[in-house]
Structure 1
Amino acid sequence: MDDPRYMPQTAESGGDGLSDQQIRRALARTLKSPEFQSAPQLRAFLRFVGTATLKNDRNTLKGYTIAVEALGRPEEFNPITDPIVRVEAARLRRRLEKYYAGSGSRDPVRIVIPKGSYAPEFRSLQSRGQAVSPDAADRAPPDPDPPRPGPPDLAAPGRKAEGRLASAMALRVPLPGVLAIAAACLLAGYLARAL
C-alpha cells in the first residue's frame, strides 16, 4: 500500500491534491536541509505536526500535545503559562520562509503553517503553472519571483511609503514655527491684559 499511485489524496494533508508520498518527500527534504540541521527543536516540531497531519490526527495538533510529545516538556506543562509552543511555531514559520528563500527555492511543494494554527498546509507550485512530480525538486528551475510574506508596504516599498515619509517631514518642519507663533500670541494677550 506504499505505492504512491494508490495513496489517498486527502484534503487535510494534501491541500492542493498532493499525494501522501509527495508530502512525505517534501517533509524529508525540508528536515534534511541545512536550514533545519542546526535547529533540532524546529525539526521535532515540524516532523510531529507533519506526521499528525498525514495521519489526519487533528487532535494531536494542540499546544499541550506538541509541547509534551514533540518538544519534550513534562506532562505538567501548562500552555497558558508557558508560551514555548507559540514561540517555536513563530520560529518555525520564519525558518520555513528562510528555507524556501534558500535551499528550498526549487521545491515543488511548500509547507506553510498559517498563523493561528499548528496544522501545516502543503501547497503545490502546480497551481502557479509549474508541473509537480516526485523528483521535480532536482530539475525545476528556481522560482524567479517567490512570494514574500509581510505587510505590503514592507514587501514592496514604493511611492506610497515615500509619500508618507514626505508628509511626516512636512509636519515636523513647521511645528517649531507654529509653537513660536502660539507662544507669541499668548504673550501678547497676557501683556494686553496687564496694561
Structure 2
Amino acid sequence: MKRLLDLALASMAALLFLLPATLIALLIKLTSRGPALYWSDRVGQHNRVFRMPKFRSMRLGTPAVATHLLADPQAYLTPVGSFLRRSSLDELPQLWSVLVGDMSLVGPRPALYNQHDLIELRTQRGVHSLLPGLTGWAQVNGRDELPIPDKVEYDVEYLRNQSAWLDLRILCLTAAKVLFRDGVSH
C-alpha cells in the first residue's frame, strides 16, 4: 500500500513540477559552473548506499559533509543556492529516488554516507530497516535544528507508529513547514 501511494503521489508531483524543475535547472546552469544536479551518496534501507539527486545549491568543490559542519556555508552557495535551500526546491529531484524505490515520500531523511554517528544510532534502534524519505517525522518536528539523538528518537517513534494516516499527516505538515520556511537552515 505504501509503495503504491509513493508511486501515485510522486508521479503526480513529478508531472506538476516538471516545468518549474526545468526552469530551476536552467537557472542553475546560467548562474554557476557545473551540472544542475548533484548526486549525493546517501545511506538507505538496511544501510545500503545509493545515489540521491538534488538540485545543486553549492559550488563545485564543496566538501561532502553536512552543511552545518562547514566553517562558512554561505561561502559555498551558488547564486541561486540560498533560494533553493530556503524554498526546499533543491529537493525536487528526489522524486526520482522515490519512483525508482530507493526512497519513500515519508521516512527518516537519508544520512550522508559519512554521518557515522547518525547511521550507528539508527542501526542500533532499528531505524535502518525503513526506506528513507523525502520528508519524515523528525523533519516536521524540528528539521535542521534537531541534534542527531533527537532526530533518531523521532525516527524511532515513526518506526513504531507508521501508518498511511501518519504519512498523510507528515506530508501535510511538511507542506506547511516548507511554505512558512519553518526550521530551514540558511
* Higher normalized contact order (CA 8 Å, seq sep 6+, divided by chain length): 2
- Structure with greater strand share of residues: 2
TM-score computed with the length of structure 2 as normaliser: 0.27
Q: Which has the larger Rg? A: 1
